[in-house]
Amino acid sequence: MGSAKTLNLLAVAHSYQAQGKGVLILKPKLDTRFGAESVKSRSGLEKQADFLVERDTRIPAKSLKDIYCILVDEAQFLESDFVDYLQSLARDCDIPVICYGLRTDFKTHLFEGSKRLLELADAIEEIKSTCQYCNRKAVFNMRLIDGVATKEGAQVQLGAEESYLPVCSGCYATAFSGSLSKEDIKSLNPEA
């Protein structure tokens, strides 16, 4: 959260397109936070997704013509079967596939899509973000309900800064040990 993953994706898309090279932008169908087909950065930049994907989505061969790169937003929400399909596109069609997403959920467990991407990826690059509470590297996303950290609820609950904060492992542990009060968390996140 807050590491500019989607902003990076949009910048890569712009770079390819500025060179006259085609790109395809994909996103999971379940991600409707900014509109069903919109891939939008918190900075305000936005593009329409070319495909909304589910487990059995397949890109028609004609859509791959003159494509130099496939970009995937919110890759953590992909199902492992679709990640396998993306790997086959990269290998068999010689088209780079770049996926942007979170590694773990608010309980610090891998998402299905992230797990499979970690297993198959040729390379992994981390986009760094800082902890909401201190200046260390954020490695987890802490879910908030009414401004209070929680480990309860479904793995997938769409939201942004009102629902999730990027935190380091120390602040994550502190939030659940009782060392950070509700007031501390609310004061550090006034929009909650």
- Report the alpha-carbon distance of residue 48 to residue 71 in Å, rounded: 12
Q: Cβ distance 58 to 47 under 8 Å?
A: no
- Read off the pTM: 0.83
Task: Identify whether 119 is a catalytic site residue.
Answer: no
Interval 102-136: pLDDT, tens: 999 889 999 999 999 999 999 999 888 899 888 89
Beta-bridge partner residues of 45: none
Say what the pLDDT of residue 164 is: 82
Question: Looking at 74, 119, 152, 183, which residue is catalytic?
Answer: 74
Determine the CATH number of domain 5-120: 3.40.50.300
Q: What is the pLDDT of residue 192?
A: 42
Domain locations along the chain: 5-120, 140-188
Regions of the chain where pLDDT drops below 50: 192
